[in-house]
Chains A and B, each alone.
Chain A
Amino acid sequence: MRKDYKKLMVIGSGPIVIGQAAEFDFSGTQACRSLREEGYSTVLVNSNPATIQTDSDTADSVYIEPLLAENVAKIIEKEGVDGVLSGMGGQTALNICSELADSGELDRLGAALVGTQPDAIAMSEDRELFKETMERIGEPVPISRSVNSIEEAKQAVEIIGRYPVLIRPAYTLGGTGGGIAYDEAELEEICARGLAYSRIHQVLIEESVLGWKEYEYEVMRDSNDNCILICNMENLDAMGIHTGESIVCAPCLTLSDADHIRLKTAALKVIRALGIEGGCNVQFAFNPENGDYRLIEVNPRVSRSSALASKATGYPIARVSTKIAVGYTLDEIPNRITGTTFASFEPTIDYVVIKIPRWPFDKFRTVDRHLGTQMKSTGEVMAIGRTFEEALLKGMRSLEIGVRGLDRSDIADDEIMTELQNATDRRIFVMAEALRRGWSVKEVAEAAQWDTFFVQKLRNIVDMEQRIASGLTAEVLREAKTMGFCDEAIAEIAGGTPAEIRATRKAEGIVPVYKMVDTCAGEFAAETPYFYSTYGRSTEVVPVEDRKKVLIVGGGPIRIGQGIEFDYCCVHGVMALQEEGVDAIIVNNNPETVSTDYDISDRLYFEPLLLEDVLNVIEAEDADGVIVQYGGQTSVNLAVDLEKALEGTKTRVLGTSPDKMDVAEDRRRFSKLMDDLGIQQPRSGTGYSFEEARDIAEDIGYPVLVRPSYVLGGRAMEIVYSTDELRTYVETAVKVSRNHPILIDKYLTEAVELDIDAVCDGTDVYVGGIMEHVEYAGCHSGDATMVLPPFTLGKEIIDQVVDITTRVALALDIHGLMNLQLAVKDGQIYMIEANPRASRTVPFISKATGVQLAKVGTKIMLGRTLKEFGLKGYRPIDHYAIKASVFPFLKLPGVDSILTPEMKSTGEVMGIDEDFDKACYKALIAAGNKLPTEGGVYITVNDADKPRILGPARALKEMGFTIYATKGTSTYLRENGIETTTVFKIDENQKPNAIGLMRDGKINLIINTPSLKSGAIRDGYTMRRLAVELEIPFMTTVQGAEIAVASIRVARSGEVGVRSTREFHGLV
């Protein structure tokens, strides 16, 4: 039964980071919708503006504020919240709730935790409590013993019964000194080391379950103790690889019914013992030798796995968990998929679901690619098929890494075994390659610790390649399509073009059908508008005839450079289409997102985003239009080909014409347009050899920005300062040739960079926002700290920017959205680039200004005009919004934390306030910077920055900070009356130096602007890396330092308020 609450709060998960991605936008948004359905007043707080949940209409009040317990408490108090949902915002929200509960703050404020209670959370989060609880109910966890000597360690191994064992020293940072022992000699060695490292001379000896199978159970419980299983999932990779890093299929495919029942029974016992109310994820290690299992982990909340399970089954776990949290029982909650049954059932699926992680190694070439217990992937794709092979191949081509299936690997024969045994992101390709080179299924399976069941499926795919190669008959074509091969892959093997393959198979009647995801394997008539393609006998999609239908191409997996922002845009596109009475159809493959919630669009297709797959959906739907502006580069790249393929059909690419999009994308055409418009661009050239590149660079003058014209796997863009550096770049980073020239641009030093998002209807232009980068041009706009509106530019420059934006938008005949990047240097404005699509700053601007650009853009694509919305020109706002980026440095050892033209951030936050300094403070804090209010600051800056660092340095001194500086900076500061402590440079190898002081906790903030030579950049690497590990805020620009100092001042004053987005937009 529904409980009475006046107002309920949902806490989001903050910025996208590795391990906590868009799944919590999905769950939080579902939670809010679910609560509002029941008539509750709702409040949402999240610092991430790129989310759907922070839309003003998701909750009654939305706060874009840093996710700190004290802020949450302020909002609870201000809004009169009497119930808080802890389980919708990942670990972040759970931690905040635990903190508020433990400190008694929730009681003081009269707010209850809704759903799973603190003691239940503690029981699953605290290792010891969890172990005790599991022992009480008789469920096995890995056997372990704490020991204080090697003798005791040997006894512990006897109890465990076998090697290998894990050795974890107690009380050391990051598990230093631990390891895996495979025999007694290793045990002695590692224990000796571990005991020495441990502050209390103690190590934990734990049974190893490495190599066991890993199964996950998503279960749900209500307050009446009804428990159900939503879905089980099987990790293809054995224990030892994080489930977030593993290829996963649903349901479990190799588990017998009897063992499935054992694990299900255990999972239900666990959720009952912990008293969880809502969704819960239970992870098992399962020994394939003898059927023993161990409970590995329990997540007492919705999670990445539950988002996957929701999309895999159609069962809305977050939505139902929310209803349970407010008191409903499962049999009272309608199953919206069938419309006639209830949530108290266990979904049955009649297809294979596969999830594949998306790793960022294309961006971070220096990172160790090995997979293990630390998550490194930024996102994932999901694919559905009627066979394993079909789902796998669809998943592979959804990854946006340029592969079309199990593409060939050029690995050397003698490296195959190493790769199979020590997985990287490339392992699955190498497995297929090994099979092609004569390895047996069993050999590959043993080396990779996969079940032969799955390796055999890879074998089937490889065998099919052979059959295609030896003659593509209609029968082989049909079988290949049924197995999931895409036209491109078939064309690659058999010869011909994908278009020819498409034509051939259509002539043979080999076209996909669409089946419904309905939670019940067809047993009940369902109304879910959720489909996947397969090759079978009949389709369940009947094109709607009396309504206009528009398809939006989604953005695929979350990866560096293409984040949740594009999903936000797609969802807004859907909403706008629906507001205009048009059926909105989504095609996408990212299971974490809101756009792939079947509740959002009129029809959802879970598909790869290749031309073939998108065209198939367009044909099945008989769509009137397709929108390619919202799915980031994924969809923009389809524009020209789509238009060509759709020639002569009724389907139009809506908005800006693909040809005009091409003008913006094609360097030569774009330069010509800029010349015609009289807009300056940095000088540039194209070099087809090192010599040519050198001549161009010398002509333009160093530094120059260089990048390959043909970007493969995200090869880097770099700033080079000399001929030597250019030579190194050409020789190591890229291969320059006639076919693959490199592009050389003048790098504008100390230029202010601007990002502008605008909407144009072909006649008028609305400049949605102008954002000034805090960092100088040269730092990727996705990483830069941005301020809306500009904080250093005068009206004259702003007017010129608006004028340029207007002229470019009209010249490109933009219908919809456009993003510009400009640079300002010495009062001159330069065009950097134009993007004829929604950019990643669209949600940020929309949240800051209250004008929902993506919705306006969509309506314009349908033929409405800006006039109808009363939008034209540029409207300043009377508060500040600061976007700060969040980086994965801690999780990816080997990546330098310095900002460059190559994007590195995974997510963003917004700080919004009437006061500039306070907005800065909020942004920095929300981005996870541990700003000190006292302590020591280490300053070392290049000569050019010295004058400008005086202000921040003086301010810090006045606030009582100790200033440490190396000789040059120290002397300069002292000459200007600022007292400092001089320390040695790191490479002088003498104490005191920064490294030692950081380790001793004496440095709490670092301001380090390297000189603009890449050699100098490398020198600071050790210090930056240590700062990342010790979580010391690190400013690499003077502008960043200024902002940090302003923020520290705010932090010391303690006077920071909270305000809802509606208040900022003047709606309250």
Chain B
Amino acid sequence: MARGYLVLEDGTKYEGELFGSESGTVGEVVFATGMSGYQETLVDPACRGQIVVMTYPLIGNYGVAEEYFDEREVHARGIVVREYCKDPSPMYDGRTIDEFLKVKGTPGISGIDTREIVLRIRSTGTMRGAIVGEDADLEKVVADLRGMEFPCETNLVSEVTCGSVEEIRSGKDVTVGIIDCGAKGWLVRTLSERFDVVRFPYDTPADVIRGYGVDGIVVSDGPGNPANPEIGSTVVATVSTLAKGGMPVFGIGFGGLATVLAMGGSVRKLRFGHNGASQPVKYDGRVHITTQNHCFTVEEGSLDGTGLVADQVNVNDGTIEGTHHGSLPILTVQYHPEAAPGPWDGSQIYDRFARMIEEGRF
């Protein structure tokens, strides 16, 4: 068992046992609070650039399903756990998470007091960090981390978007385009159950999208800061053109924030993100428990004059979780209605989007 360290930019070092790939990694250290769903978290494009600290101490209990080995890309740069399971439950015939991460080339570190890291991040905000072998020069690692750009400030979307336009047509009445900023498989699947779907690379211009005859646009979730200039000149500009032209737009997570930016609002970074499966969102007088994975949020007050109205809020911290436009068919949410990992509680938002398209306006 190789020993190694998780090093944080504030100089804190945690010694532990390396598992998965022993290649070492750097990234933005965030925490995820789901008690199950580690496989889904690892392959979530929104985790691009991140070293994910799992708050649940036992990870890998039910193994990793074969389909993840075959078909899924790991987006997280590393994983930090209290304990990873070497002998998972045989119920799902899965292989170990250690094998999975080795195959995918992703480092993990185990035996860490993960709760301490969470409390640290909670008070200082997210930090840059590294997983390194025991021979590393730790002071140099710290110095390098301090000089490193936060991964979320780079254009991570370009790394996770699809390579070319994909059409998933099954003869439905309505066609919906996805601007793929890192769309999860679930989103595509859920949408294609209701609509014909065309998936566009994030930098596809508005007129190209229009050319496919779409009736509405979903701007997907994705990693990083939507205020990145390269996102501004692509996704934000495209959405701005389409939305102002009356195209129904539904922005999810990162895509929701890009839509807000497109309408003239602004976003800010949360001190530590919303990462987990139990974020309560109030909408229409009811509370929905949602899954979230984002570090940015709508700047309160920036909606004035954009035509957007906040209609969903986080019950815990009051941040804006959803908006709609007063006169245009625009809808945004901060959570994952498609929800894997996590509960299926916010899915009626799709109904709202479908109605919006049908009625031509909200």
Contact = CB atoms under 8 A, between A and B. Distances in A.
B320 interface: no
A292 to B, nearest CB: 13
A520 B33 contact: yes
B362 interface: no
Interface string A475-505: 0000000000000000000000000000000
Contacts of A522: 31, 55, 115, 118-119, 122
Interface in A300-356: 329-331, 340-342, 344-352
B316 A348 contact: no
B278 A347 contact: yes
B36 A521 contact: no
A452 B40 contact: no
A451 interface: yes
A523 interface: yes
Contact of A521 (B33, B92, B289, B344): B33
Interface in A907-923: none
A28 to B, nearest CB: 27
Interface in B90-117: 90-92, 113-116
A49 to B, nearest CB: 41
B136 interface: no
Given A348-B33, A521-B56, A536-B113, A387 B82 contact: yes
B342 interface: yes
Contacts of B285: 224
Contacts of A265: 343-344
A1022 interface: no
B116 A538 contact: yes
B280 A345 contact: yes
Contacts of B92: 256
B336 to A, nearest CB: 13
A515 interface: yes
Nearest to B61: A253
Interface in A238-271: 251-258, 260-261, 264-265
A616 interface: no
B315 A261 contact: no
Given A452-B90, A536-B113, A525 B122 contact: yes
Contact of A225 (B36, B276, B277, B286): B286
Nearest to A351: B57
Interface in B55-94: 55-58, 61-62, 65, 82-83, 85, 87-92
A330 B345 CA distance: 16
B282 to A, nearest CB: 6
B115 A523 contact: no
Contacts of B286: 224-226
A521 B119 CA distance: 9
Nearest to B275: A523
A520 B115 CA distance: 11
Contacts of B342: 257, 261
Nearest to A539: B116
Given A261-B343, A331-B315, A342-B315, A523 B122 contact: yes
Interface in B261-294: 272, 276-280, 282, 285-287, 289
B276 A348 contact: yes
A869 to B, nearest CB: 45
Given A515-B115, A521-B118, A345 B57 contact: no
Contacts of A329: 287
B36 A256 contact: yes
B349 interface: no
A536 B14 CA distance: 11
B37 interface: yes
Instruction: Give the bracket for the number of chain A residues in contact with chain B.
Output: 35 or more
A780 B344 CA distance: 56
B341 interface: yes
Contacts of B287: 226, 228, 329-331, 344
Contact of A254 (B40, B62, B340): B62
Interface in B301-329: 315-317
Nearest to A524: B316
A229 interface: yes
Contacts of A256: 36, 62, 65, 91-92
Interface string B1-37: 0000000000000100000000000000001011111
Contacts of B36: 251-252, 255-257, 260
B69 to A, nearest CB: 15
B58 A341 contact: no
A251 B62 CA distance: 13
Contacts of B39: 257
Given A257-B340, A342-B316, A386 B82 contact: yes
A352 B62 contact: no
A350 B115 contact: yes
Contacts of A540: 119
A776 interface: no
B72 to A, nearest CB: 14
A344 B289 CA distance: 8
Contacts of A330: 287
A770 B36 CA distance: 57
A653 to B, nearest CB: 33
Given A331-B280, A350-B56, A453 B89 contact: yes
Contacts of A288: 91
A224 B285 CA distance: 8
A260 B344 CA distance: 11
A265 B346 CA distance: 12
A258 B116 contact: no
A228 B58 contact: no
Contacts of B282: 331, 344
B58 A253 contact: yes
B17 to A, nearest CB: 12
Nearest to B87: A456
A345 B39 CA distance: 23
A346 B277 contact: yes
Q: A224, A258, A261, A441 — which one has the most chain B CB atoms within 10 A of its CB?
A: A261
A437 interface: no
Nearest to B285: A224
A345 B278 contact: yes
B56 to A, nearest CB: 6
A251 B280 contact: no
A593 to B, nearest CB: 26
Contacts of B316: 340-342, 345, 524
5 contacts: A226-B287, A255-B36, A256-B36, A261-B341, A524-B122
Interface of B: 14, 31, 33-37, 39-40, 55-58, 61-62, 65, 82-83, 85, 87-92, 113-116, 118-119, 122, 272, 276-280, 282, 285-287, 289, 315-317, 339-344
Given A256-B65, A523-B118, 5 more contacts: A261-B344, A348-B35, A348-B276, A348-B278, A537-B113
Chain A to chain B: the 7 pairs with minimum beta-carbon distance, closest first = A257-B37, A346-B278, A537-B113, A522-B118, A254-B89, A521-B55, A453-B89
